[in-house]
Structure 1
Amino acid sequence: MSPEFEAGIDASARLLAEERAGDNAPPLSVSELSAILKRTVEDRFGHVRLRGEISGFKRAASGHIYLCLKDDNAVIDGVMWKGGAARLPFSPQDGVEVIATGKLTTYPGRSKYQIVIERMELAGEGALMALLEKLKARLSAEGLFDGSRKRRLPFMPRTIGVVTSPTGAVIRDILHRLEDRCPTHVLVWPVLVQGQGAAEQVARAVRGFSAMQADGPIPRPDLVIVARGGGSIEDLWSFNEEIVVRAVAECSIPIISAVGHETDTTLCDHAADMRAPTPTAAAEMAVPVRADLVTMLREQGLRMERAVRRSAGQARERLDMQMRLMPTLDTLLAPQRQRLDQLSDNLGNGLRHRLADARAHLNQAGGALRPALLHQHLSRARERVDRLRLRPDYLTRIFQDQATAFDRLSRLFVSVNPDLPLRRGFARVMAAGQLVKSVAGAQAAGTVTLHFADGAIGAAIDGGPPSDPLEKPQPQAISPIARPSRKPRESEERRQQDLFS
């Protein structure tokens, strides 16, 4: 390459970076430049106040708050750490105009600058009212302010729970008014009524009263009063917080909201079952006047007494009228008295007739008891006794008949004895305890038992034809069996005599 060509090449087009003479700006890394910018911004803008509208509000799980502050022409990121976020007197929302106080810094990870907010306030009363209206519209859309959710207050609560500051004039006014009207047991849950942490304490107190057990060691309130004295909208802002409104709406006990004076209105008033213009008015709503109750009870007692007397007088008049219409005692008993006299007369006649009938019957029975009739009955009885006596000839005839019947049964037993044919050369074939009656039964059994007169022997069935044909039996003369004599033998006769002796 020629020197002229090299001289014409621009130094910015060189391939490799080279230090040139007189160059006192060494190259910086990106991290070094980010650190220089961070120090410069923090030194220059260590304390700033920005006015802008919140956009992209987000509360992280760690408790930190991330948001953007914007106006018509620019946007800046903002972050508020957990400690500062916990001290906020209101709940930030998108669209709310605020004034944020903090310092500017950079975030090297994205090459962006942001404001670290230390304190954040609403930008004037207009912004506060805008936030209030926005929260009111959102909670109203959820139905927390519906009239159908309102409950009637108990007429005579035994225990009243009060959520307020224990050192202010509010609790003294409530106790004094309750003492004048109708003394009632009061439970005070001390809370902060303004400032940091007031909303959380009020909500915790309302939920604590609602969670108490009816049969616990501390009596559960029948009515709850949330009370605070008057003040500016900033002083009453704790009772506009969402956590307080939801706690009041979810309370299982009827609740009265007495926050501020007549002209002061908070979201807690809309969520409660009843709104009182002042704490003193809340005490008047909570209980009736004891003197009025006593007077009313006295009047009701007098009215009841007059009603009872009037009812008794009317009943007495009706009774008198009924008594005049009822018959007298003599009129009612006259028929019964007459019947009693008639029965008394008939009783004597009946007894005389009965006595006469009894005498006639006795005479008739006495005439039948004659000695001749008695002797006749006695003779008939003796004849019946003689017929019933056992004579020896009668018993002998009975014994002979029984012996004849016994001989007949003995001959029948001998003729049906299954072992008698075995003595003549026959055998009884048995298989499995059953009598074999056919060839098929013997073949099916396979093994059989042959019973002879002198014993039994086993045999196997081969199923073939017999080796020797059976010979046809020759007819033989059968001698008649000698009939036993009807006259019993001497031994049998002796046994019979012994049996019936």
Structure 2
Amino acid sequence: MVPTRQPQASGQVELFEEARPDTGANAPEFTVSEISGAVKRVIEGEFGRVRVRGEIGRVSRPNSGHIYFDLKDDRAVLGAVVWRGTARGLVAKLEEGMEVVATGRLTTFPGSSKYQMIVEEIAPAGAGALMAMLEKRRQALAAEGLFDAGRKRALPFLPEVIGVVTSPSGAVIRDILHRLRERFPRPVLLWPVTVQGPNCAAEVSAAIRGFNAIAPGGRIPRPDLLIVARGGGSIEDLWGFNEEIVVRAVAESRIPVISAVGHETDTTLIDHAADRRAPTPTAAAEMAVPVRLELLATLGGLEERRRTSAARGLALRGQRLRDLARGLPRPEAIIGERAQRLDAVGPRLPRALVGLVRARELGLARGAAGRFGPALLRHGLERRAEQLGRAAAGLRPMVMTRMIARLGDRVEAQGARLARDGGRIGREQAARLGALARTLATLDPEAVLGRGYAIVRGAGGHVVTRAEAAGTEARLEIQFADGRVSARPEHAPPRPRRRAGGADEDEGQGRLL
């Protein structure tokens, strides 16, 4: 029997068959492991390192951390595996349907009699493939409503605390802090993350959820606004912000989020899910807070408008008060007519009473008694007494005193309001207002009592203004500036004299009714 020979550089196996006799010879026998090993050595020797382009088919991720998937085209399928250590360094997440270029080596798996590719590097097959995959993911997330404009919230006008998710060592955080100091300084909480590479998506999503997990009012203040920021770069550098886990974390955030990833021309999926997109990190800081100096200028303008409006309102009210003061009637005009009516009615009452007494004493005839009977006289007296009471009620000094006091209170209140805005009403207006107040004070009937005058009232409390009326009163009350005293008239009214025919002599009696 002739021994076998190892594979040559050509990668083919040459087996020397044992010389067979004319009647036939037996072929050499190999074990399954020998055949598998020979095939493995041939494949690994021939395809030590290859680059394969294809579309990703089935993808499996067991708990071991390895990734198993298929590379296929329209005619064949090649099994591939990415070991756990290599899988942690992949930039793009492997998804079914991606067109990639995989670099690695071919080998066999004796346990299932199949060959496969051990992938060491893998990348999307050009920017077009990445953009196609990005568009496919964008449409899927948009179909779930994560990018709807109706779910976006308004940013707070002036947040108390701002949370920033970015790298602590880059220029982004310095630009944000510098811009905040210029516009309106606010406390900033930084959550450091990796903004590029395989760990970017997981760290950014964890930071957003971490900020939302802070309890309000705790030891660590909960931000009112979040800024997720990163500088510019290629689509591969920004790919972590296109991952689904980051987009969902932004969409689920209860705190408003500003996305500031890349430069103005860069667009990532996080921009669609955020409540506001900023073209640059510096622009995000400008969106977060207003300009303090502009706010102060606005407040100053509003304060000036308030003062001007208050001064104009006081001036208008002062002019209105002066117009009303000119329209007030003179007290003499108000009291004169009623005093005249009282003077005309007052003297008739005593004569009516005397006539009633005489009618009772003389016992007039039936017709005269019917005409001047006690009931008729009593009714007439009561009606006139009621009229007299109404007229006297309007002429009481206390009523006029209250009216003048109310007018004085109004004047004093308006004067106090005008005094609070000192300096804005001229001296001339203040002098006119004082003169008006003094004029009103002089109209007070009781004010003249201090100058030696007195008010005389009858027994019923009505004011007696004539000596003739005072002579008919049984008792008088005189009011001075410091109190009141009672008095009795010295001359009682003359008694009626009887005539020869029995009639009373009273030339001033006149007619009762």
Please indicate the TM-score interval, normalised by the length of the shorter structure.
Answer: 0.5 to 0.7
Give the whole-Å Cα distance in 1 for the aligned partners of 2:91 and 2:44: 27
Q: Does 1:272 align with 2:274?
A: yes
Q: Say which of 62, 65, 87 aligns to 1:63.
A: 65
Change (3 A) 1:117 1:341: same
Give the whole-Å Cα distance in 1 for the aligned partners of 2:118 and 2:474: 129
TM superposition shift of 1:23: 3.8
Deviates more, 1:341-350 or 1:248-257: 341-350
Q: Does 1:284 align with 2:286?
A: yes
Letter in 2 for 1:304: R
Give the whole-Å Cα distance in 2 for the aligned partners of 1:325 and 1:201: 81
Indicate the residue corresponding to 1:159 in structure 2.
Answer: 161
Indicate the residue corresponding to 2:252 in structure 1.
Answer: 250
Q: Say which of 200, 220, 223 aligns to 1:221.
A: 223
Indicate the residue corresponding to 1:111 in structure 2.
Answer: 113
Change (3 A) 1:217 1:340: farther
Indicate the residue corresponding to 1:97 in structure 2.
Answer: 99
Give the whole-Å Cα distance in 2 for the aligned partners of 1:226 and 1:72: 42
Q: Could you tell me whether the CA contact under 8 Å between 2:91 and 2:197 is conserved in 1?
A: yes
Letter in 2 for 1:336: R
Indicate the residue corresponding to 1:348 in structure 2.
Answer: 475
Indicate the residue corresponding to 2:29 in structure 1.
Answer: 26
Give the whole-Å Cα distance in 2 for the aligned partners of 1:55 and 1:188: 41
Give the whole-Å Cα distance in 1 for the aligned partners of 2:246 and 2:474: 101
Letter in 1 for 2:282: T
Letter in 2 for 1:265: T
TM superposition shift of 1:31: 4.7
Once the two structures are superposed, the pairs formed by residues 194-233 of structure 1 within 5 Å of their partners are 194-233=196-235
Indicate the residue corresponding to 2:85 in structure 1.
Answer: 83
Give the whole-Å Cα distance in 1 for the aligned partners of 2:186 and 2:474: 84
Summarize deviations over 1:463-500 as a string: whole Å, max 9, x none: xxxxxxxxxxxxxxxxxxxxxxxxxxxxxxxxxxxxxx
Once the two structures are superposed, the pairs formed by residues 274-353 of structure 1 within 5 Å of their partners are 274-326=276-328, 335-337=395-397, 341-342=457-458, 343=460, 348=475
Indicate the residue corresponding to 1:237 in structure 2.
Answer: 239
Change (3 A) 1:329 1:187: farther
Give the whole-Å Cα distance in 1 for the aligned partners of 2:43 and 2:254: 54
Letter in 1 for 2:65: G
Change (3 A) 1:337 1:97: closer
TM superposition shift of 1:322: 4.0
Deviates more, 1:252-261 or 1:32-41: 32-41
Give the whole-Å Cα distance in 1 for the aligned partners of 2:476 and 2:140: 110
Letter in 2 for 1:194: Q
Give the whole-Å Cα distance in 1 for the aligned partners of 2:237 and 2:55: 23
Give the whole-Å Cα distance in 2 for the aligned partners of 1:106 and 1:253: 52
Once the two structures are superposed, the pairs formed by residues 372-391 of structure 1 within 5 Å of their partners are none
TM superposition shift of 1:110: 3.3
TM superposition shift of 1:87: 2.1
Change (3 A) 1:27 1:278: closer
| Secondary structure of residue in 1 paired with 2:165 | strand
TM superposition shift of 1:253: 0.9
Gaps in structure 1 of 5+ consecutive residues: 1-19, 353-501
Give the whole-Å Cα distance in 1 for the aligned partners of 2:30 and 2:193: 62
TM superposition shift of 1:213: 1.3
Give the whole-Å Cα distance in 2 for the aligned partners of 1:306 and 1:299: 11
Indicate the residue corresponding to 1:138 in structure 2.
Answer: 140
Give the whole-Å Cα distance in 2 for the aligned partners of 1:340 and 1:268: 96
Give the whole-Å Cα distance in 2 for the aligned partners of 1:113 and 1:25: 25
| Secondary structure of residue in 2 paired with 1:57 | strand
Indicate the residue corresponding to 2:75 in structure 1.
Answer: 73
TM superposition shift of 1:85: 2.2
Indicate the residue corresponding to 2:187 in structure 1.
Answer: 185
Give the whole-Å Cα distance in 2 for the aligned partners of 1:327 and 1:204: 83
Give the whole-Å Cα distance in 2 for the aligned partners of 1:42 and 1:309: 97
Alignment root-mean-square deviation, CA: 2.9
Summarize deviations over 1:234-266 as a string: whole Å, max 9, x none: 221121111111111111111111111111111
Give the whole-Å Cα distance in 2 for the aligned partners of 1:58 and 1:44: 28
Give the whole-Å Cα distance in 2 for the aligned partners of 1:218 and 1:179: 22
Q: Could you tell me whether the CA contact under 8 Å between 2:457 and 2:476 is conserved in 1?
A: no
Give the whole-Å Cα distance in 2 for the aligned partners of 1:88 and 1:141: 28
Once the two structures are superposed, the pairs formed by residues 445-460 of structure 1 within 5 Å of their partners are none
TM superposition shift of 1:300: 0.7
Give the whole-Å Cα distance in 2 for the aligned partners of 1:43 and 1:251: 54
Change (3 A) 1:220 1:50: same
Give the whole-Å Cα distance in 2 for the aligned partners of 1:155 and 1:51: 52
Gaps in structure 2 of 5+ consecutive residues: 1-22, 336-392, 399-454, 462-469, 478-485, 488-513
Letter in 2 for 1:166: P
Give the whole-Å Cα distance in 2 for the aligned partners of 1:160 and 1:347: 93
Give the whole-Å Cα distance in 2 for the aligned partners of 1:243 and 1:86: 16
- TM-score with structure 2 setting the length: 0.60
Summarize deviations over 1:206-244 as a string: whole Å, max 9, x none: 111121111111111111111111111122112111111
- TM-score with structure 1 setting the length: 0.61
| Secondary structure of residue in 1 paired with 2:175 | helix
Q: Could you tell me whether the CA contact under 8 Å between 2:101 and 2:123 is conserved in 1?
A: yes
| Secondary structure of residue in 2 paired with 1:115 | strand
Give the whole-Å Cα distance in 1 for the aligned partners of 2:42 and 2:155: 64
Q: Percent identity?
A: 55
Give the whole-Å Cα distance in 1 for the aligned partners of 2:298 and 2:30: 98
Give the whole-Å Cα distance in 2 for the aligned partners of 1:282 and 1:268: 14
Give the whole-Å Cα distance in 2 for the aligned partners of 1:326 and 1:249: 72
Indicate the residue corresponding to 1:428 in structure 2.
Answer: none
| Secondary structure of residue in 2 paired with 1:209 | helix
Letter in 2 for 1:337: P
Give the whole-Å Cα distance in 2 for the aligned partners of 1:196 and 1:236: 11
